[in-house]
Structure formats: structure tokens, C-alpha cells
Amino acid sequence: MSSGADFCTEVAGGRLTSLERPFLRAGFTVTFPLPGVVQICAAPELVTGKTEPAALRGRLLLSAGIHGDETAPVEMLTKLLSVLKKHPHQLAVDLLVVVGNLCAIAQQKRYIDVDLNRLFLPECSRSADADASGNTCPQFPEQLRAKQLMQIVQLFFSGNGAKWHLDLHSAIRDSVYPAFAIVPGQRDAVWLDWLGSAGIAAVILNTLPSASFSSYTASYCGALSCTAELGRVSAMGHNKLSRFSVTFTCIASLLRCGALKPGITEGAMPVLFRVKHEFIKKTAAFAFSFDDSTCNFTQFAPGTLIATDINTIYRVGSVTEYVLFPNAGVRVGLRAGLMVVAESQDRAVS
């Protein structure tokens, strides 16, 4: 029996085989389609006699480590799996676990060549094919990983039951809201309510196309999905997971009951934001008007100068705006941050 720390090392390394025996014994089918990926599904005989046919059993994708330096989500995933494998009979959903960028996790980097969370588009998959055929455009391991993960999640989510995807991250900087989420696709009140009860205090609704993992599962698999940001990046073993115990409890409950039951924080609908502006760094001259210590969701009054690039400036419009993920250090051509506006101005923290 491995200790908690050993199991965390195994999960971070994508070695998930210790889950096989307990779930097989409990009558599940367990497959490992890729390193760092395990699928645990109810065998047909396991659901016989229950009210829902196997095809209608809820499906949950839990992913972490899509960014290799975000260790808190890997620790939370480890904790969820270590509790679950002691009581495997309790698993009430078909479960797909993905530990995202294994090489980047091993090197404690956000990514090796390209940001994995910008590659979940069918076009990216096609360009990876082109590379394999010997074309000149470069094929990075992250492109191949994204392509393989898209294929696996498409298959996993091909049934008719409820579909959920929780992609667990942590942010580079502090945040006014310690736990928040980006929710792609159409607004779903039950999903938002559940996220609120799971301690997600703020949600950015994003209906714009995006190449993130959660956007892919929402757009192409019909899942209720989110990119959940849990606290700030720190080294493995130095995360204060107790800050996110409400989130942990709600996810553990979803695994056991197979439905979005409200958690212990009742009536905690998140504060809702929507994207007003996306900064694309056009030239090396791009700069924000504030320093690197500025928190996510810092608010700026109408008219405030926010960013300058070689021929453009950005000022806040007619209502208060909040900055998210500001990072002037990204490569030219990439997203340097977002400005969001509150849907419910009165509830946003000022």
C-alpha cells in the first residue's frame, strides 16, 4: 500500500495503475488508453436492475495538470482518487481521469513547447496529422497529446447521460476570488448553482470560441464544463488544500451520488462576469499600466488606461472592468489577458 505522498507522486507521473485492482474487484471496467489517463466505467451487469440503463449513467471527466506547474489540482485529484479507491463501490458515475501535460509536470513548467490548453481545436488535431505526414510545420508533443485527448474524450462522452467536465487549474497570481471558473458554452443554471455551492465564488461566462480543454468538451461533446482556478500556483506539497475543502467535498459527492446535488454552501450562486475584451500581444512593446503584483479581478474605473501596444491603447469603457490573467510577458501573437465586466454589478467584490 503506497502512502499518500507516494500516490501523489504516482498520479503526477501519470502512473494510475494502482486504481485498477480495487475497481475491477468492485465490478467496474478499467482501461488506460494513454499514460496519465484512466477510464473507470460501470460494467453492464453492474447497472442491471438499477433505474438507469448504463447509457444514461452520468459521465464525469476530471482533469488536472494541463499546465504542468499547477500542482494544487494534482494534489486534489490524488486526494479524491485515494478516498474513492478505498470505497470503489460508491462510484456512481462513469469516470475519466486525465493528468494532462506529464512532461511539463515532471519539469515543473507550465508547458514544454506550446501551451496545451490552447490546442483543443479540431484544426490543431489536423495540423498534428499533417506533421506526422512529414510536412514542415512543427509537431510538438503537446499537439499530439491534445489530439489524443480529444479522441478519447469524444468516445467517453458519446452516450446520452449527463456529461460533466471539471478541468482543475491554479492561477499564476492572487485573486480577489480565491476560487473561480471560466464556464464555456450556454448558461446552465443548475451547473452554475452547483459550482457556487462547490465554493466557486465567481464565474466568467464565455460564449466565444476558445481552444481550451473545457471549451472543447462543451462545444464538441455537449458537456457542462468549466476551467476551475483554485488558488495560486505553488510547489508540490506546499498547497493549502484545506482552503478548498468545500470544492473537494462537492466533487467527492458528485462522484458518489452521480448528480449535481447542492453542496453545503446553499444559495451561493457565483458572481457572474462576461468577457469584454481580450488582449492579444501584437508587438514586443505591449505593456500594462499596472505592475505584476496586480490580482485577478482587480477593478478599474471607466476611462482608466489599461494597456498600450505600438499603435493602440486600451481604456476601460463606460462601466467598471476587472482584469483577468494579465501577463505582458507572453510571446507576441498570444493572449496577454482579459477584461471582464460583472453581469450583476452590485454583487462583485470591490
Catalytic residue numbers read 229
Q: Please report, as residue ranges, which positions from 311 to 330 form the binding site for Zn ion (by CB under 5 A).
A: none
Place of cell 433505474: 51
C-alpha cell, 237? 506539497
Per-residue interface string for the shown chain with Zn ion, residues 128-167, x marking contact by CB under 5 A: ----------------------------------------
Q: Among 80, 125, 117, 86, which residue's Cα sits nearest to residue 101?
A: 117
Smaller CB separation from Zn ion, 67 or 85: 67
In the complex with Zn ion, the residue whose CB is nearer, 93 or 105, is 105
CA 202 to chain CA mean position, Å: 15
Rounded to a whole number of angstroms, the minimum distance from the CB of residue 67 to Zn ion is 4
> Dmax over Cα atoms in the chain, in whole Å?
67
230 versus 250: smaller Cβ distance to Zn ion: 230
What is the nearest approach in angstroms of Zn ion to the Cβ of residue 267? 29
168 and 97 Cβ atoms separated by less than 8 Å: no
Select the residue interacting with Zn ion from 169, 185, 191, 281 (CB under 5 A): 169
Q: Please, which of residues 263-302 interact with Zn ion by CB under 5 A? A: none
Q: Which is nearer to Zn ion, 57 or 67 (CB)?
A: 67
The values of phi and psi at residue 58, to 5°, are -65, 150
Asked whether the beta carbons of 262 and 244 are under 8 A apart, the reply is no
User: CA–CA separation, 178 vs 214, rounded Å?
Assistant: 20
Number of helices (H), then strands (E), belonging to the chain: the values are 10, 15
Burial 170-181 (b: 16+ CB within 10 A, else e): bbbbebbbbbbb
Task: Give 69 or 94: the residue with its C-beta nearer to Zn ion.
Answer: 69
Q: Terminus-to-terminus CA distance in the chain, angstroms?
A: 49
**Ranges within 51-90 binding Zn ion (CB under 5 A):** 67, 70
Rounded least distance, CB 104 to Zn ion, Å: 11
319: its cell numbers: 462601466
Distance in Å, CB of 35 to Zn ion, minimum: 20
The DSSP letter of residue 49 is T
Alpha-helical runs (H) found in 133-282: 141-156, 189-197, 213-221, 245-257
Tell the smallest beta-carbon distance from residue 344 to Zn ion (Å): 26
Task: Say whether 190 sits in a helix, a strand or coil.
Answer: helix
Binding footprint of Zn ion, residue count (CB under 5 A): 3
Residue 161 half-sphere exposure, CB side, CA atoms within 13 Å?
Answer: 20
Amino acid residing at 35: P
Task: Please identify the residue of the shown chain whose CB is closest to the bound Zn ion.
Answer: 169
The alpha carbon dihedral of 263, 205, 67, 41 has a sign of positive
* Distance in Å, CB of 302 to Zn ion, minimum: 30
Nearer to Zn ion, 10 or 70 (CB): 70
Please identify, using beta-carbon distances, which residue of 244 and 300 lies nearer to Zn ion.
Answer: 244
* Residues found near Zn ion in the complex (CB under 5 A): 67, 70, 169
